[in-house]
């Protein structure tokens, strides 16, 4: 079967696949892409692991087309949705110059790459510019044996070693050596808060099908098996009533103190009693960052949406603890 397209590359829409494990900084980089003066009109597809989408609400207000995909990993059951969304996007092809797909942190990028070659329509309209993988320098070694991490590193055309300010030179060099042992050919960038030159990640024409096939000769097969660790799950907590910040702080601190290593990622937008601003909280393992964000927009639905992704989560206990934080 031929996987090349008769349409010249210059006429096809360039696509960047943005991947990386939970909490590596993908949304931060995405916001940099959307606010940078690079002269490109960018369309975005955001995929999240869980039925409530937080990332889409954390993406900066922009004129770009932003689509959200929930209820599954982009490399599993919702890949058909990806094809449909791109198909609809292409009807407005004149409105953008570049497409960025941000995958969930639990995605194996191989099936996403596969999509651009096995679907004939997409093959003639799109070209994969690069797979950009963010690496959390502080936490990646805790997940080193994860199949998702290994795949994300192996298929990267550009590797961004992020959170360099949180590790010393020895730790950074150790991670760099381990990353290079898996993928010696990717372009390597080091960053703080995902601050990287845009011309190093967009329009780089770095993807090579031959290299992808050398990593996984069967990855262009029609079916590509991918299974997540059954112990890893997500809990979506939604509340229409305002929350009490002090109660939330105590509950989350206790939760992190007792279950921190099992809490891969927490992310939420909170409606707080007596406050007109959104409160945004994010965490990776034991690291928590929370602060007030922009004011709620007129007509915007004010409610709290909080997603927890981790191992061996006690869903009922988490729901009870969350409910106790209502003001």
Question: What is the pLDDT averaged over residues 226-252?
Answer: 80
pLDDT: is 87 or 47 the higher one? 87
CA 216 to chain centre: 23
What pLDDT does residue 290 have?
81
Q: Given a cut of 80, is residue 317 above it in pLDDT?
A: yes
Q: Write b or e for each residue in 211-249: b if 16 or more Cβ atoms lie within 10 A of its Cβ, otherwise e.
A: ebeeebeebbeeebebebeeebbbbbbebeebbbbeebe
Q: What is the pLDDT of residues 135-159, one digit of tens each?
A: 999 989 888 888 788 878 877 889 9
Q: Answer yes or no: is pLDDT of 33 > 70.
A: yes
pLDDT at 266 over 70: yes
Quick one: what percent of the chain has pLDDT higher than 90? Answer: 25
CATH code of the domain made up of 11-215: 3.40.50.300
Task: Provide the pLDDT for residue 211.
Answer: 64
CATH number of the domain at 232-323, out of 3.30.1220.10, 3.40.1410.10, 3.40.50.1580, 3.40.228.10? 3.30.1220.10
Q: Give CA separation, 85 vs 45, 66, 67, 78, in Å.
A: 8, 11, 8, 11
Domain ranges (residues) in the chain:
11-215, 232-323
pLDDT beyond 60 at 72:
no
Q: Mean per-residue pLDDT for 309-323?
A: 88
């Amino acid at each position: 079967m031929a996987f090349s397209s008769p349409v010249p590359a210059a006429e096809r829409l360039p696509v960047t696949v943005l991947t990386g494990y939970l909490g590596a900084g993908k949304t931060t980089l995405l916001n940099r892409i959307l606010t940078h003066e690079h002269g490109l009109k960018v369309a975005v597809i955001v995929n999240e692991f869980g039925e409530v989408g937080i990332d889409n609400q954390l993406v900066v207000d922009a004129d770009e087309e932003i689509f959200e995909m929930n209820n599954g990993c982009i490399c599993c059951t919702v890949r058909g949705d990806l094809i449909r969304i791109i198909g609809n996007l292409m009807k407005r092809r004149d409105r953008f110059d570049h497409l960025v797909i941000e995958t969930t942190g639990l995605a194996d990028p191989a099936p996403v790459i596969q999509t651009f070659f096995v679907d004939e329509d997409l093959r003639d309209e799109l070209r994969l510019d690069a797979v950009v993988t963010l690496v959390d320098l502080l936490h990646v070694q805790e997940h080193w044996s994860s199949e998702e991490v290994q795949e994300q590193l192996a298929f990267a055309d550009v590797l961004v070693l992020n959170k360099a300010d949180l590790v010393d030179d020895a730790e950074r060099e150790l991670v760099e050596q381990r990353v290079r042992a898996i993928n010696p050919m990717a372009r390597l960038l080091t960053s703080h808060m995902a601050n990287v030159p845009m011309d190093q990640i967009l329009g780089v024409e770095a993807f090579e099908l031959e290299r992808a096939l050398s990593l996984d000769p069967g990855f262009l097969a029609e079916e590509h098996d991918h299974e997540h660790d059954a112990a890893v799950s997500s809990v979506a907590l939604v509340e229409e009533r305002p929350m009490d910040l002090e109660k939330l702080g105590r509950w989350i601190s206790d939760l992190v103190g007792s279950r921190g290593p099992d809490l891969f990622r927490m992310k939420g937008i909170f409606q707080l009693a007596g406050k007109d601003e959104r409160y945004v909280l994010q965490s990776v393992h034991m690291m928590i960052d929370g602060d007030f964000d922009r004011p709620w927009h007129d007509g915007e639905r004010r409610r709290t949406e909080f997603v927890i992704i981790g191992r061996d989560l006690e869903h009922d206990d988490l729901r009870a603890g969350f409910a106790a934080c209502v003001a």
